[in-house]
């Protein structure tokens, strides 16, 4: 899933670009009307239909994050307004830091970059949307200058850097209320698609624990905000099954939170079956019980599999009070090979959102800004127009929004 194919994470050959958008006085901005803290069921309902601002703030060139490095335009307020007008209630903003982090021991984040992150957050936050921000590309072995590597030798240095970076992020956003959710990392694993390995999984668990402890102690609203953590590669089986995932303890959270409530959410992604959702060819273009051509439909990963996967998350986490967020899902455009493909893409989106709702999980559609062949895009980010109304309608239908 980290390949250029679906999510277009591979680096382009453009020269390194840096963002130099200084926004003085932003550090203490927050909503004038705080949102009351929500319990597990309320936060999932409040998140509603979610959308990813993919391939923008996590894009980079030669290790320098730049929102235009992967051919998407600069993010605008108008784009976020169009997303909200289309019925989405929450936005996940993937963020990379990489070479915008200075040297140790302070590991200071470039101030212009942190200002720009906050500015984009504010585009959504000040419109009343829920916002999720994470540390996205810093843990990919395929990204130059990535450093959050679970099987690297010097874990002490990695953990010290990780702690310092999250301390700065959490401090910057300390006055934002519960509509801002922080996510520890994204699809962290050893780069090999298979069973989890040690000590990699133990290090991922340690990162999550450092994240929770650091954010909680950063002051302001951080002591009670919802925090989102993934297991191995955000894989459902390797998170819900007995493969080593440990939910972080939350010893520094606000004493005002009732003892029987959680403030930690579990992140997973869903792109199954991959031959339909992400594989770049025209072989598998149909999905679900409505498929009309068996030769164009995958032999696995249909409605029953989707149901079983989200039931795993329900049985392991939701029943314990930990909300689940399907932080990415979607399928690429293969209408070049099958003119009916968008119908099945909509069926897939509707099924994911409806099944997630059935099992008490929130969903966030992956949009990489690419329209046409192999794209996940729902919007044209240049003209701020809808390009896939059928899929948006399906998402709203399935999620009940």
The encoded tokens of residue 212 equal 């929770």
Q: What span, in angstroms and rounded, lies between the C-alpha atoms of 177 and 157? A: 31
> Which one, of 36, 13, 28, lies nearest residue 256 by Cα?
36
Q: What span, in angstroms and rounded, lies between the C-alpha atoms of 223 and 145? A: 32
- Plot region of 220 (φ>0 → left; ψ -120 to 50 → alpha; else → beta): left
Hey, how many other C-beta atoms are within 10 angstroms of the C-beta on 293?
10
- Cβ atoms of residues 206 and 247 within 8 Å: no
The catalytically annotated residue of 67, 183, 187, 279 is 187
Q: What span, in angstroms and rounded, lies between the C-alpha atoms of 394 and 390? A: 6
Distances (CA, A) of 386 to 162, 309, 311: 37, 31, 33
The encoded tokens of residue 363 equal 């969903």
> Which one, of 295, 388, 401, lies nearest residue 348 by Cα?
388
The catalytically annotated residue of 58, 67, 279, 328 is 328
Query: Directed axis angle between helix 200-216 and helix 155-172, to 10°?
Result: 30
DSSP 356: H
Is there a catalytic annotation at residue 328? Answer: yes
Q: What span, in angstroms and rounded, lies between the C-alpha atoms of 246 and 322? A: 13
- Phi and psi torsions of 264, nearest 5°: -120, 135
Q: What span, in angstroms and rounded, lies between the C-alpha atoms of 139 and 252? A: 26
Q: Which residues pair with 324 in a beta bridge?
A: 266, 361
Is there a catalytic annotation at residue 187? Answer: yes
Q: What span, in angstroms and rounded, lies between the C-alpha atoms of 106 and 225? A: 25
- Cβ atoms of residues 264 and 276 within 8 Å: no
Residues with a known catalytic role? 187, 328
């Amino acid at each position: 899933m980290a390949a250029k194919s679906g999510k277009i994470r591979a680096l382009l050959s453009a020269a390194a670009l840096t963002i130099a958008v200084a926004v003085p006085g932003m550090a203490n901005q927050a909503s004038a009307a705080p949102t009351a803290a929500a319990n597990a069921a309320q936060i999932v309902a409040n998140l509603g239909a979610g959308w990813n601002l993919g391939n923008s703030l996590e894009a980079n060139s030669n290790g320098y994050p730049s929102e235009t490095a992967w051919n998407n335009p600069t993010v605008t307020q108008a784009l976020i307004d169009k997303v909200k007008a289309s019925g989405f209630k929450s936005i996940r903003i993937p963020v990379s830091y990489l070479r915008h982090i200075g040297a140790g021991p302070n590991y200071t984040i470039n101030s212009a970059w942190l200002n720009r992150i906050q500015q984009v957050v504010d585009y959504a936050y000040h419109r009343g949307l829920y916002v999720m921000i994470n540390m996205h590309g810093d843990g990919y072995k395929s990204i130059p200058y990535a450093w959050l590597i679970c099987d690297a030798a010097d874990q002490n240095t990695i953990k010290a850097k990780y702690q310092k970076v999250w301390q700065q992020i959490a401090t910057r956003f300390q006055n934002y209320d519960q509509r801002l959710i922080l996510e520890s990392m994204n699809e962290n694993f050893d780069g090999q698609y298979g069973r989890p390995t040690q000590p990699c999984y133990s290090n991922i668990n340690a990162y999550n624990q450092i994240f929770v402890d650091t954010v909680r102690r950063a002051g302001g609203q951080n002591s009670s905000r919802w925090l989102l953590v993934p297991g191995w590669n955000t894989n459902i089986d390797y998170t819900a099954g007995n493969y080593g995932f440990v939910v972080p303890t939350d010893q520094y959270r606000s004493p005002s939170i009732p003892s029987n409530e959680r403030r930690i959410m579990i992140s997973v992604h869903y792109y199954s079956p991959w031959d339909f959702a992400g594989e770049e060819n025209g072989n598998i273009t149909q999905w679900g019980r409505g498929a009309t051509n068996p030769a164009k439909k995958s032999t696995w990963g249909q409605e029953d599999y989707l149901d079983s996967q989200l039931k795993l998350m329900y049985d392991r986490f939701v029943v314990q009070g930990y909300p689940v967020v399907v932080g990415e899902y979607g399928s690429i455009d293969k209408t070049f090979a099958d003119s009916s493909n968008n119908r099945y893409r909509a069926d897939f989106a509707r099924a994911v959102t409806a099944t997630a709702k059935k099992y008490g999980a929130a969903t966030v559609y992956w949009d990489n800004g690419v329209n046409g062949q192999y794209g996940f895009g729902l919007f044209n980010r240049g003209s701020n127009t809808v390009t896939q109304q059928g899929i948006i309608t399906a998402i709203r239908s399935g999620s009940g929004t």
